[in-house]
A and B are shown apart, each in its own frame.
Chain A
Amino acid sequence: MRTHTSQAADRPAAAVIGDDGLDALIRALTEAGRRVLAPTEHAGAITIGDINGLADLPRGRGDVQAPGRYRLTETEDAGWFAHGPTAEGWKRFLYPPEECVWRAEAKGASWREEPTTTDDADSADTLALLGVRACDLAAVAVLDRVLGPEGAADPRYRARRERAVIVAVDCARPGGTCFCASMGTGPGAGDRYDLRLTPLADDPGSRFLVRAGSAAGADLLARLPARPADDAALAAAEATLNAAGQAMGRAMPADAEARLKRNLEHPRWNETAERCLTCGNCTSVCPTCFCSEVEDRSSLDGRRAERWRLWDSCFSVRFSYLHGGSVRESGAARYRQWITHKLAWWHDQFGTSGCVGCGRCITWCPVGIDITEEVAALPATAAAVPA
C-alpha cells in the first residue's frame, strides 16, 4: 500500500471547501486519468457508480433505511452526501464479483499459459473512490487484511488497491440501520484515506473540513480552492461527528464474539432459520464478505481453459459440499456460519471483527433479519443446551 504519512508537517493544514472545492476535486481526479467512482442515484437507490462531474453526485437526496426497507427521500437542506450507506459498497470495484485468474491453451498433452486481462497491473483501472463512509473505509481495511499484503495477498486486489485514491466523507446522517459507533468504525473515518471530508455542522450539505491522510491527498488538497480551517470550522466538524455518533439507528452488543462462541447450539438458530430465506443478499451487500468460488471453464472444443474466481455465499448448500452431502445442510447452520464467521471466527482469523456496522445486511434482508438483534437475543452466558 502507499505510505500514509502521519506527520502534520508534510501536508497543508486542514482546509474548508465548498461546492467549488468539491467540483475542483472531481475535476482533478478525472484529469489525472482516474475512473472516479462515487455515490450515484440509480434505480431508486443511492449506489456506487461512475461520475464525470459534480452534477452526477446526488444532491439533496437522503434515504430511510429499516430492516428490509429502503426508500429515497428529499432532504430539506439539499446538500451533497446527505444519504446513509449506499445500497452496495465499494467491494465490487476492488474485488470484482467475477475475475479470470488463470487462462491457458492446450499444447500437446499439456498447455501453455496465457495472460489474463488483469495480470498486467497497468491495465487495471486506476480508481478514485469518492465519498467513502467511515464504515466502508473500515471495510477496506478488513479486506486489506484478508486479500491485501497482510493476508492471502490477491495480486489483482492489491494492484487495484495500491493505485486507488480514497476520498472519505464522514457521516452527518447515519441511516436507521447503522451501528458503526458501536463497532468503533465510525462515524468519522479512521486511517487509509488520502483525503477526508467532514461535513460542517452548520452547513453539512455543502461545506466540508478537508484533511489529507497521505502525500497524494496533500497534493490534491493543495490544488483545491479552499480556505484554511479556523477553530470554528474544526469545532463544526467535531459537532457533526458527535451528533452522528448519537444518531445511530442501532448498536451491536460489545460482547458479540463471546456470545456467539458460547451459544453455538442455542435454539435461536432454528427460530431465525424459520425466517431466513438463505438468499445470500446479506453476503452480497456486506462490504467484507470475501468468500469465493473457484470455477474452471473450458471452450466447447476443450482447447482453451480458464479459471475464474466468483463471489460465493456461505448461504448456499453447495458451499460446504463434500462427496456425500453438505456439511451445513440446514438453514440454521448456514445462518450461524455467516454470523459467527463475521463477528466471532473473524477475530481468530484476522485479528478483527468482520463487521463494520454499515447495516446493509439489515436493510437489504428481504425479511428484515437484524444482525444486532440476533446477537442481543443470545444470552451473554452459555445457554443450557436442550437435550
Chain B
Amino acid sequence: MRMAPADAATAAARPMPEPRQETAPAARTPDLMAPRPFTVERVTRDVSDTFTLELRPLEGPPLAFQPGQFTMLYLFGVGEVAISVSGDPDRPERLVQTIRAVGPVTRAMTALKPGAVVGVRGPFGRPWPCAEIEGRDVVVVAGGVGLAPLRPAILHVLARRGQYGKVALLCGARTPKDILFRRDLRRWGGRLDTSVAVTVDRASAGWHGQVGVVTKLIGHAPFDPEEAAALVCGPEIMIRYTVQALNDRGVSLDRIYVSMERNMKCAVGFCGHCQFGGSFVCRDGPVFRFDRIADRFAVREL
C-alpha cells in the first residue's frame, strides 16, 4: 500500500492529524459506570432491523458530542450496548442514536416507545477529524449501518460546505430495502455540491441503481486522490477492501480514517474487552488513522 510521499510540497503532504483524544484520561469517578436517564422522544423505524431513538435527558444539560463518538445505551435491568451517535453535532439538544437489533439488548430496545427511559453513558472515543481535514476533498464510504456513525460527520461537513473541497458519499447496502437514511441520501444527493452514490449487493425488482460492492464506486467517485481524506465505516471486511481500493486510487493511508468495532463493556479503557493490539478501541478509537493500525489490521484474530 502507498504512503503519502514525505517530500511532496502539496497540501496532501501536510502531516495528517490523529483523531483527537476526547475522553479525559483523568480520574474516573463512580459516575462513569452509572447510566444517566434519558427519555425516548421519538422512535423511527429505519430499515427492517434498524431503528433510531431520539433522546432527551430527564434533567441536566444535553449531551454534546463529536462526530464519530459513541455512547453506552442501557435498558433498565436488561443490559448495556455501545451505540454510535447518529445525530447532528450542531443540535445536541436531542441525542440521536441508530441501533441495529442484533443481540438480546438491542432486540429488547425495539420495544421502546416514546416516554420510555433509557440510560446513557458517554460520549466516548475519538471522533472523525472533521475540523482537521478542512480544505480537503472528503470521501465518505459507508457499509450498511456503518453510515450511522458517519452521519454526524456528513452533517458537520455539509453545514460548513465552503470549508471543504469536493464531497463524495459512497454507500453500500445489502438490498434496496436495507438502505439506511434514504431521506438524507436523497437530500444530500440533491445538492449540486455533493456527490452521492449508492450500491446494493443484491438488487430487487424496481431497483435501477448500481449493484455490487461499495468498493466499485471508488474508481469513478469525484475526488482528487492526492488531496482527499477518506472516512470509512462498515463491516471489517468492507473496511479492508475499501482501504485497498482507496489506496489503489492514490489516497495515502495516513489520509484514510476508519471506525473500528470491538466488544465494548466499560467504554473507559479498563475492562480490556475492546483491545486491538495495544489500543483500547473505546478510548484510543473507535476512529483510527489507518496507517497507524495497518500492521495490526492485517493480522487475523487479533
Contact = CB atoms under 8 A, between A and B. Distances in A.
A323 B103 contact: yes
A307 B33 contact: yes
Contacts of B3: none
A35 B280 CA distance: 36
A292 B28 contact: no
B271 A291 contact: yes
A323 B30 contact: no
B272 A327 contact: no
B117 A327 contact: no
B29 A349 contact: no
B301 A327 contact: yes
Interface in A339-387: 340-341, 344-345, 347-349
Nearest to A350: B278
Classify chain A's interface size.
35 or more
Nearest to A341: B275
Interface string B268-300: 111111010111100000000000000000011
A314 interface: yes
Contacts of A147: 270
Contact of A153 (B28, B265, B280): B28
A9 interface: no
A243 interface: no
A239 to B, nearest CB: 41
A113 B103 contact: no
B76 A348 contact: no
Given A291-B273, A296-B78, A319 B301 contact: no
A296 B302 contact: no
Contacts of A348: 277-279
A76 B26 CA distance: 51
A110 B270 contact: no
A312 to B, nearest CB: 7
A266 to B, nearest CB: 11
17 contacts: A106-B76, A109-B115, A146-B270, A152-B268, A152-B270, A153-B27, A294-B271, A296-B74, A297-B77, A305-B77, A322-B263, A327-B263, A327-B302, A333-B301, A336-B302, A347-B278, A348-B279
A147 B102 CA distance: 32
Contacts of B93: none
Nearest to B102: A323
Contacts of A299: 77
Contacts of B279: 348
Interface of B: 26-30, 33-35, 37, 39, 58, 74, 76-80, 100, 102-103, 115-117, 261-263, 265-266, 268-273, 275, 277-280, 299-302
Contacts of A152: 28, 266, 268-270
A345 B278 contact: yes
B182 to A, nearest CB: 23
B72 to A, nearest CB: 9
Contacts of A323: 100, 102-103
Given A264-B302, A321-B263, A110 B77 contact: no
Contacts of A110: 37, 58, 117
Given A109-B115, A152-B268, A153-B27, A319 B273 contact: yes
A70 interface: no
A352 to B, nearest CB: 13
Contacts, number: 127
A238 interface: no
Contacts of B76: 104, 106, 111, 298, 302, 305
B270 A296 contact: no
A348 B276 CA distance: 12
Contacts of A345: 275, 277-278
A93 interface: no
A223 B106 CA distance: 60
| 10 tightest A-B CB contacts, nearest first | A298-B77, A348-B278, A291-B272, A333-B301, A152-B270, A323-B102, A305-B77, A345-B278, A153-B27, A110-B117
Contacts of B280: 349
A196 interface: no
Contacts of B116: 109
B301 A322 contact: no
A193 B76 CA distance: 43
A109 B272 contact: no
A328 interface: yes
B78 A298 contact: yes
A329 B301 contact: yes
Given A153-B28, A296-B77, A345-B275, 15 more contacts: A102-B35, A110-B37, A264-B299, A292-B270, A298-B76, A298-B77, A302-B77, A312-B272, A312-B273, A314-B272, A322-B262, A323-B102, A327-B301, A336-B302, A341-B272
A320 B280 CA distance: 12
Given A155-B28, A320-B273, A323-B102, A296 B79 contact: yes
A265 interface: yes
A290 B271 CA distance: 7
A151 B262 contact: no
